[in-house]
Chain A
Amino acid sequence: MAALTEEQTLIKDQAISWASAEAPVSKFRAMRNEGNEGGFAEPTWSAMVEMGWTGILVPEEYGGSDLGYLTFGLVLEELGKQLAASPLFASAYVGATALLLAGTDTQKLSHLPRIVDGSEIVTLAVDEGPRHAPARTALEAKSQGDKHVLTGSKTLVLEGMSATHFIVVARSAGKAGEAQGLSLFIVPADAAGLSRRPMKTMDSRGYAELSFDGVEVSDADLMGPVGQAGEVLDEILDRARAGIGAEMLGVGSQAFAMTLDYLKTRKQFGAVIGSFQALGHRAAELFAAMELARSCGEAALQEIDAQSNSVAKACSLSKAKVGDFLHTMSNQLIQIHGGIGMTDEFDAGLYLKRARVLETLYGNQSYHRDRYARLLGF
C-alpha cells in the first residue's frame, strides 16, 4: 500500500468497514438473484452518495471534496473486494473526470453538483464494436448550423440503463480509424431519437447498448472544440483505466485472500493442502504477481494526482499488469478450490466473471501492451 495521508487512511478505513458490513458480496449475490436490470441496489448507491464518495474528484466549488484519484482508487479497491455494485465508478469517477477535463464552465456547473448529490448519473459512451478502439469511432456527428445530428450506436455503456446523461464520443470529421476528427457531446438520456437496450453480461452489472437515430444536439452540448477531442478523450480514458486498475486490485486481492484461506484449511491426504510444495510455490508466485501489480496500480493513480507527463504510460502499465495478475488469480481461485469453485453457490465464480469484464473494459492487456510499446516508440 502506498504511503497514505491521514485523510486517505480515514476514507480507506471507512470503505473497508462500510463495504464489509453494508455491501458484502452476499448483497451483490442477492441483487443478481433478483434479476435487477439496473445492476445495482438503490440503497447501496444512496449510502455511497451520503458518505460523499461521489464528490471525491469534484472541486469544492461544485460541492465535492477534491481528494484526488488515489483516494478514489482506495474506495474502488475496497468495493471491488466485495463486488459492491453501483454507478459510483461510471458517474462520479469517469463522468466527473470527463466533465472536469473537457467540460465548459456551464456544463460543469450544471452537472457536477448533481453527480455529487446523486440526482444525475453521467456515463461515458465510447465503444462501438467488439474491441476497445476509440479511434475507430464511427458514430457520426453531422454539423447543421449550430446543431449536430448524431447517428450511430454504442455498446457496453456502463450503467447505461440508469444513466440520466451520456457523454458520447462522436466523429465530426474523417474516417473510422483516424485519431483526428472526434468530438464529445453530453446528451440527456431522454433525447429524441436516442434509444437504449439492456445488455445482460456475465458479471450481472448494468450495461446498455445505445442507438442514435438522428439525435439533435446543440453547440451548448459540445464539450471542447468540435473535432478535436482525441487528446482529451485519451486523458479521460487513462483515468478510467487507472480506476479499473484499482477495482481489479480489489477483486484480485480478495480472490487471493480466499485462496490462501482455503490452502490453510482444506485437508487432503491427511494434511492441509497448503503444505504441499506445488501449491505453496503457486501461492508464492501469485503473491509476488499481486505485489508487483499493486505497485503498478497505485503508481498510475499517483501519477494522475501529480499531473506528471507519464500518465499514459503509467495507466497502460496498470491496466496490463493488474489485468494479467487478475486473469491468472481468478483462474487459480477456481482451480485451487477445485469442485466447490465450480458451484454457483460458492462466490469464486462471481469474482471470475467480474474479472473478465474488468479486463476487457477500456482495453484489455494486449491493447495496453501494444499501446505501451507505441508510447516508447517501437
Chain B
Amino acid sequence: MTAASDLDGFRSEVSEWVQSNFPSALKSFDLGADSPSEKGVSGEFRAWRQALADNGWGTPTWPKEYGGAGLSDPEAKVIRQEIAKVGAFNPIPPMTGMGVTMVGPTILEYGTDEQKAKHLPGIASGEVRWCLGLSEPNAGSDLAALSTKAVDNGDAFILNGQKIWTSGAHISQWCGAVVRTDPKAKKRDGISFVMLPMDQKGVETRLIKLISGASPFCETFFNDARADKSDLLGDLNDGWSVVKRLLQHERQSQTSAPAAVKIDQEPLQEQAKRYVGTLEDGTLADPDLRLRIVENLMDAEAHQLTVSRITAEAKGQVKVSAAASVLKNSMTRVAQTKAELTLEMMGNQGIGWEGEQFSEEELRSVRDWLMGKAMSIYGGSAEIQNNIISKNILGLPETTQQG
C-alpha cells in the first residue's frame, strides 16, 4: 500500500489537474439521467473524456500499455474522490456499456496478449461500447441452460440463437457472448465465451420496452453471426469459468450506488419533511413513515460501513469476493426500499406518469422506482445470491440449486 504521505502528494496533483481540466460547461451534466451516447454528447464532453483517457484515469488500475495508468486501488480511490469533489464525473465507464466494469477486468484475467492489445485500449479511452449476450429466453437464473450454438467453420465460430436483456446492444460496437460449443457435454462443460462485432449482417437487435417506459435492454438475434476464432476468451468449452468470473465482477459493480448518482442529492429525511411536514417537537408528522425512513437510513449506513470494513480488511486492495453477494442484496434492499418510501411520502404527487402537474423530481421518482425493481433480478436474482451465500460462503450442501 502506498504511504499516506505519497497519497497526499498524489491527491493535490490530481485535484489541481481536475480543476484545471474539467470544463465548467459540464457541471450541470447528470451522468445518471442524461445517459450519454456517442452521438449525443458535446465537444466539451469528448474533450474531457479524452483528457482523462490520456492520463489513463478512466481505468486507473489497468496497466499503462492497455490504456490504464497502472495505479493502486488507494490511488484510484483518490482519483474518484477528487473527481467527485468538484462535481465532475468519469464518463468512460458509462460510455463503454459493460466494458469497464465487466468485460475489461475479465479480458485482463483471461485474455491473451493479442486480445488485451486489441480490445482494452478502446475501452480505456471510452470509445468502444460493449454489451453482453448472457441470458436467453429459456436461460435466466439457470444461465447454464443456454442454447445459442457456435459452430467452428475453420477460421470463425458461426453463431445461431437468441440472447435477451442485452443492455445497450443497439448502440454497442462489441458483444461478449456465452455460447454452446459442445452440445454433447454436460450443461456447464460445453460452453465457451466469444467476442464479436455487433456491426455485421448476422446480428439483429430489438428494443424491449419496460414497465418504466424506458428501453435500456434488447433482444439480440444471431443468424449465422461470425466471431473470429482469435476472439475466443479463455479455453474452448471452458467458458463457464470465464462467465462465473464475469458475474463476480458484475456483482462487485452492483455492490455500491452507481457512480452516476449525484452526491449532492437531498437526504431522504429532508425530502420527507418537505412533503409530510413536522410536528411541534420537530419529528416527522407521520410517525409510522418516520420509523420506516430511519430504518432505511440505518440500513444504508450499515451497508456503507460494511463496504468500508471489507475494504479495510483487504488492506486497501479491493478484491472480488464472495461477500459481493451479501453486498449486492443489501444494496438492492436499501435502494428499492428508499424508492418505495420516496413515492409514499410524495402521496398524490408520487403517482404521476407525465405532464406539468408533476415536478421533474416526482416523475423521475416514479420511473426510478420502476427501474429499481430490476435490481433484485439482474446480475443474479436475490434468490440466486442467497444460493451463492449458502453454498460458497456457508458451505451448505447443494440440492437442486445450481448457483
A residues near B, CB below 8 A? 1-3, 260, 263-264, 271-272, 274-277, 280-281, 283-285, 287-288, 291-296, 298-299, 317, 320-321, 366, 369-370, 372-374, 376-378
B12 within 8 A of A: no
Contact pick for A293, options B302, B395, B400, CB 8 Å: B302
Contact sample, A vs B, 28 pairs, CB 8 Å cutoff: A3-B315, A260-B396, A263-B396, A271-B397, A272-B397, A274-B396, A274-B397, A280-B386, A280-B390, A284-B390, A287-B389, A287-B393, A288-B326, A292-B303, A292-B305, A295-B302, A295-B306, A295-B308, A295-B309, A317-B301, A369-B298, A370-B291, A373-B293, A373-B294, A376-B267, A376-B297, A378-B273, A378-B293
B313 within 8 A of A: yes
Which chain B positions have C-beta within 8 A of A296? 301-302, 305
**Secondary structure dominating the interface of A:** helix
Give chain B residues whose Cβ lies under 8 Å from the Cβ of A299. Answer: 305, 309
The complex places the Cα of A280 from the Cα of B396 at a distance, in Å, of: 7
Given A276-B399, A320-B298, list of 11 further CB < 8 A pairs? A260-B396, A277-B387, A280-B391, A287-B394, A288-B329, A292-B305, A294-B306, A295-B308, A296-B301, A369-B295, A373-B290
Task: Return the chain B residue nearest A316 by Cβ.
Answer: B298
Q: Which of A275, A321, A373, A377 contacts B399 (CB 8 A)?
A: A275
For chain B, residues 271 to 315, give those with C-beta under 8 angstroms from any C-beta of chain A: 272-273, 278, 282-284, 290-291, 293-295, 297-299, 301-303, 305-306, 308-309, 312-313, 315
Contacts of B294 in A (CB 8 A): 369-370, 372-373, 376
Tell me whether A275 and B396 are in contact (CB under 8 A). yes
Asked if B55 is an interface residue, CB under 8 A from chain A, the answer is no
The reply to whether B394 and A260 contact each other, CB–CB distance below 8 Å, is yes
Residue of B nearest to A322 (CB): B302
Known contacts A272-B397, A372-B297, A373-B294: does B386 contact A284 (CB below 8 Å)? yes
Which B residue's beta carbon lies closest to that of A300? B305
B329 (CB) vs chain A CBs: closest residue: A288
Cross-chain contact A378 with B309 (CB below 8 angstroms)? no
Binding site for A on B (CB under 8 A): 267, 269-270, 272-273, 278, 282-284, 290-291, 293-295, 297-299, 301-303, 305-306, 308-309, 312-313, 315, 323, 326, 329-330, 383, 385-387, 389-391, 393-401
- Min CB distance, B148 to chain A, in Å? 28
From known contacts A280-B387, A284-B390, infer whether A291 and B397 are also in contact, taking CB-CB under 8 Å: no
- Tell me the complex Cα distance, A263–B135, Å: 33
Given contacts A281-B386, A321-B298, A376-B297, contact A295 B269 (CB under 8 A): no
Count the A-B residue pairs with Cβ separation under 8 angstroms: how many?
125
Q: State the CA gap A165–B309 with chains docked (Å).
A: 39
**B335, chain A: closest CB distance, angstroms:** 15
Q: Which residues of A contact B387 (CB under 8 A)?
A: 277, 280-281, 284
Is the CB–CB distance between B282 and A2 below 8 Å?
A: no
User: How far is the CB of B200 from the nearest CB of chain A, in Å?
Assistant: 42
A281-B386, A285-B386 known; A3 vs B312 contact (CB < 8 Å): yes
Which residue on chain A has the smallest CB distance to residue B276?
Answer: A378
Instruction: Give bound CA distance, A373 to B330, whole Å.
Output: 21
B297 touches A283 (CB 8 A): no
Q: Judge whether B399 and A271 touch: CB under 8 Å.
A: yes
Contact of B283 among A264, A271, A285, A374 (CB under 8 A): A374
Most buried by A among B283, B385, B386, B401: B386
Do B326 and A287 touch (CB < 8 A)? yes
Nearest A residue (CB) for B399: A275
Chain B positions within 8 Å of A281 at CB level: 383, 386-387, 390
How many Å from the CB of B341 to the closest CB on chain A?
13
Residue from A271, A280, A321, A378 in contact with B302 in the complex, judged by beta carbons closer than 8 Å: A321
Q: Which residue of A lies closest to B389 (CB)?
A: A284
**Do B282 and A377 touch (CB < 8 A)?**
yes
Q: What B residues does A320 contact at CB under 8 A?
A: 298
A376: nearest chain-B partner, CB-CB = B269
Residues of A within 8 A of B315 (CB): 3
**Contact across chains for A283 and B302 when beta carbons are under 8 A apart:** no
A320 to B301, CA, bound (A): 12
The complex places the Cα of A295 from the Cα of B310 at a distance, in Å, of 9
A112 to chain B, nearest CB (A): 32
